[in-house]
Amino acid sequence: MNRGRIGERAKCWFWLAAVMLALTPTMVWAERSVETAFGEVVVPDAPQRVVTLHEGALDTALAVGIMPLGAVTTRGGDGVARYIEAHLDGERPTIVGVVREINLEAVLRLGPDLILAPPQLSEAQYRLLSRMAPTVVPLSEGLDPELWRDEARLHAQALGRGAEVEALLEQVDARAAEIAERIVADEAPSAVLVRWMPQGPMVLSADLFTAGLVRAAGVEIHDAGLVEESKPHSDTLSLENLSRVDADWLFLATLNEEGRDALEAARASPAFSRLDVVARDQVVPVDGQLWTSATGPLAALAILDELDTALSP
């Protein structure tokens, strides 16, 4: 990096720190508070300028009737997830980076009064963000298909919409039970969820958000013994090892055009065509932005709707 760029970056950080310091004395918040990964945080009674730095937080905010001013991109895309588009009602949050690379200047320019952050936010980033506005970080450790519920409850509580999210969680449970009740008349089918990347297929863990929903709907989803404990997905499988993902149903997710091109090439291969699930015509293409990256009540309901459609005769 040349001296010019270093100098520009130093000026940028100086400006950012100066503005945050100038803002600090004017921030007087209401008495309501929430318990977060970094302790108790006081939040506004009725936040008006919300920024979400986590896909699940954006989903929850929209689900409870709050349109954020800013949001991060979905994995593999340069905007919000495709399933979110249906809930924007003509408005659109400003993109303030990706979940692992937040543009602090862009967040600051929006003048937030509440920031909903991802569980993996570093303490250093938390300290900077919390100088701009109360920053809510869920305490989530490890993989658990039910963790998303705690995250949604915390984010909704910070928005003052706790009752609304509880109603949505009940709606998710009722929808899953409705599908399961129909399936229980037969033997529970098995399923594997695979994300197809340009370099090849990866099996998704049975401990993730989507797996929990699919299981609640009566489908025995598994990872074919290919995912190590506490890992979100397997290593990339060779086409020779593809037979290990054979199941009653195979859900194939792609994130972008490159993934779809790789999948179309794989479909022409003998290894793919030899799968029993292919012969039964029970391979279901799904949107990876929804099935493998999203969390939240809106995502849960959308996945269950698509699952219902796939399993319906």
* CB 44 within 8 Å of CB 29: yes
pLDDT tens per residue, range 62-86: 999 999 999 999 987 889 999 999 9
For residues 20 and 31, give the distance between their C-alpha atoms in angstroms, rounded to a whole number.
22
Which tokens in the block code for residue 216?
A: 């609640």
* Average pLDDT for 131-147: 93
What ranges in 159-219 are assigned the alpha helix state H? 162-183, 209-216
Taking a C-beta distance cutoff of 8 angstroms, is the pair 296, 88 a contact? no
Closest CA to 140 of 159, 153, 129, 158: 153
- C-alpha R_g of the chain: 21
In this structure, are residues 178 and 67 in contact, taking their beta carbons and an 8 Å threshold? no
What pLDDT is recorded for position 25? 44
**Token pair for 182:** 């129909």
Instruction: Say whether 252 sits in a helix, a strand or coil.
Output: strand
Mean pLDDT along residues 218-239: 90
Q: What is the pTM assigned to this prediction?
A: 0.87
Rounded CA-CA distance 139/162 in Å is 17
Helix then strand then coil, in percent of the chain rounded to 5, is 45, 15, 40
pLDDT band of 31, cuts 50, 70, 90: low
Contacts with 279 (C-beta within 8 Å, 6 or more apart), sequence order: none
Q: What is the pLDDT of residue 75?
A: 85
Element spanning 66, H or E:
none
Residue 1 confidence (pLDDT) above 50: no
Average pLDDT over residues 129-141: 94
**Residue 55: predicted pLDDT:** 95
- C-alpha to C-alpha distance for 102 and 117, rounded to whole angstroms: 10
DSSP 85-142: GGGSTT--PEE-EETTEE-HHHHHHT--SEEE--TT--HHHHHHHHHHS-EE-----S
Residue 292 in this model has a pLDDT that exceeds 60: yes
Q: Look at strands 101-102 and 33-36 and give their pairing.
A: unpaired
Q: Tell me how far the alpha carbon of residue 5 is from its chain's centroid.
A: 34
Helix (H), strand (E) at residue 3: helix 3-23
Tokens of 113: 């009064």
Residue with tokens 């905010």: 61
145-173: per-residue pLDDT in tens? 999 999 999 999 999 999 999 999 999 99
How many CB atoms are located within 10 Å of the residue 79 CB? 13
Average pLDDT over residues 53-61: 97
Give 246: exposed, middle or buried? Use CB within 10 Å, 0-12, 13-18, 19+.
middle
The structure tokens listed for 98 are 């990706």
Kindly state the tokens that stand for 32.
């309501």
CA distance 105 to 47: 20
pLDDT recorded at residue 26:
44
CA dihedral 218, 61, 56, 117 (to 10 degrees): -150
